[in-house]
Amino acid sequence: MTTAPPHANGYEQGGHYGAGPSYPSSSEAPTGLLPAVTSTGGPAVPQPGPHGGGQYDQYDRGDQYGSGRYGQQPAPAEPAGQASGGYPYGSTGQSAAPLPPPPPAPPTMNTMNPPAAPVSAQPAAEGPLSQQQVQGFANIANALAQSIGTVVLGKPELIRLALTALFAQGHVLLEDVPGVGKTTLARAIAASIHGAWRRIQFTPDLLPADVSGVTIFNQATRAFEFHPGPVFANIVIADEINRASPKTQSALLEVMEERTVTVDGVPHPVPRPFLVVATQNPVEMDGTYRLPEAQLDRFLVKLSVGYPDESVEIEVLRGANVRSPESLPPIADTKIIAEMIRMAQRVHIADPLYAYAVRLAAATRQDPRVRIGVSPRGVIALTRAACAYALMEGRAWILPEDLKVLIVPVFAHRVLLTPEAALRGTTADDVVADALRAVPVPLPGGGTQA
């Protein structure tokens, strides 16, 4: 027996995904860890819509199978203080400790006209996320996307995927032609989270010390002093990363994975949150060094900005002299973003969806057109990204649709094709799309859907 989470004992016939957890009333709800997000000016902040109708109503913390596939049945009698856990696929087998008293509510932040000094998030209490916390996360994420969208026009899905990487503690590789807004996107994210950003222009003569920093002997103090490099920022823009030598490219490997830089045997942690946004031009390949598979695997997602359509490009021209990423008001500070990252690690994933993600990766490895398939790190990246994406959609659990939306950005750059397949014009996106079609989708009541 496991101790039930406080809000998983009852059920309600709620919206799109059926019987979800019966959250406490507003008078009993735990105090949210994120400030309530309101708006007093500007366009309205979009709210996560109701989840209505569909076949995945038990991927949340709802009933356990019930009578038939989607029905409910009374929970069996349990000893006092005991319950089956309330998860759609049975108990997780772990004992959940009682939650500590909730922290006091932080002050409200105005998303569109925030104060000069953004409020900080309170430390998170472990355990299931409350509806108030989930709603607060979604509100702040939507406000960030809306603010960045005033500078990066016509790319709402690109912005949401970049924010997903930020909340999932990942990094972004933007591959596209020059002048489509890659650097602008990174600068807008940094301005919106009130964080520091640095830009590194990668060239063939760039040295590793130019990236990570160097230790210099101070004649006055007769001691060695560390001078940090440009990687010591919240948002690091690695522009044209494929133009640097492999030795310099490798200087990013440790900091991207470990969030530390080691110089002369001394580790130096970088600020949190930490996001690397690297860019490369896929057309001009003269004088470039292709990123090795080990470094490509460090990027959570690989995105393409693409050209804007005609109406968006006209709007860009109208505001070319007035829109600047630095002019964006901070929607949240780095402490709130760090708390949102911790919240994304507490999203519920049902065991069948773990198996679904593993089978998707296995399908890429078994494809005869593939020389190297998706690694276990890639599967971890997919589930981490899905957790952040689900919270942005206003849910504390993931669905198969979350994995479907993210699989190409997360998996494609980790697939290495055979030379024969590349000559035939096959792309990694084609392989991932075929894997998605070949693997059956798990159903909440058991079984799979072809």
Condensed to tens digits (0 to 9), the pLDDT of residues 369-388 reads 999 999 999 999 999 999 99
Residues 98, 168, single domain; the answer is no
Residue 280 is assigned to a structural domain of this protein:
yes
Residues 243, 370, single domain; the answer is no
pLDDT at 71: 36
Rg (CA), the chain: 23
Residues 186, 293, single domain; the answer is yes
pLDDT at 250: 85
Residues 361, 414, single domain; the answer is yes
Residue with the larger pLDDT of the pair 347 and 106: 347
Residue 340 is assigned to a structural domain of this protein:
no
Domain total in the chain: 3
Residue with the larger pLDDT of the pair 112 and 284: 284
Condensed to tens digits (0 to 9), the pLDDT of residues 419-440 reads 999 999 999 999 999 999 999 9
Residues 305, 201, single domain; the answer is yes
Residue 193 is assigned to a structural domain of this protein:
yes
Residue 337 is assigned to a structural domain of this protein:
no
pLDDT tier, 346 (very low <50, low <70, confident <90, very high otherwise)? very high
Residue 384 is assigned to a structural domain of this protein:
yes
The CATH number of whichever domain residue 248 belongs to comes to 3.40.50.300
Residues 139, 185, single domain; the answer is no
Please identify, among 91, 126, 150, the residue that sits at the C-terminal boundary of a domain.
150
Please identify, among 150, 182, 203, the residue that sits at the C-terminal boundary of a domain.
150
Question: Which residues form the domain of 432?
Answer: 347-450
Residue bearing tokens 């026009």: 153
Residues 141, 181, single domain; the answer is no
The single-letter DSSP state of residue 424 is T
pLDDT at 295: 84
The CATH number of whichever domain residue 394 belongs to comes to 1.10.8.80
Is pLDDT at 192 greater than 80 in this prediction? yes
When the pLDDT of each residue in the chain is averaged and rounded to a whole number, the result is: 77
Is pLDDT at 67 greater than 90 in this prediction? no
Give the helix ranges, DSSP H, for 309-375: 310-318, 334-344, 351-366
Residues 255, 316, single domain; the answer is yes
Instruction: Give the three-state DSSP class for 238.
Output: strand
Global model pTM greater than 0.75: no
Residues 393, 434, single domain; the answer is yes
Residues 4, 140, single domain; the answer is yes
Residues 264, 402, single domain; the answer is no
Bridge-based pairing state of the strands 37-38 and 109-110: parallel
Average of per-residue pLDDT across 266-287: 86
pLDDT at 322: 64
Residues 33, 120, single domain; the answer is yes
Please identify, among 127, 150, 173, the residue that sits at the C-terminal boundary of a domain.
150
pLDDT tier, 178 (very low <50, low <70, confident <90, very high otherwise)? confident
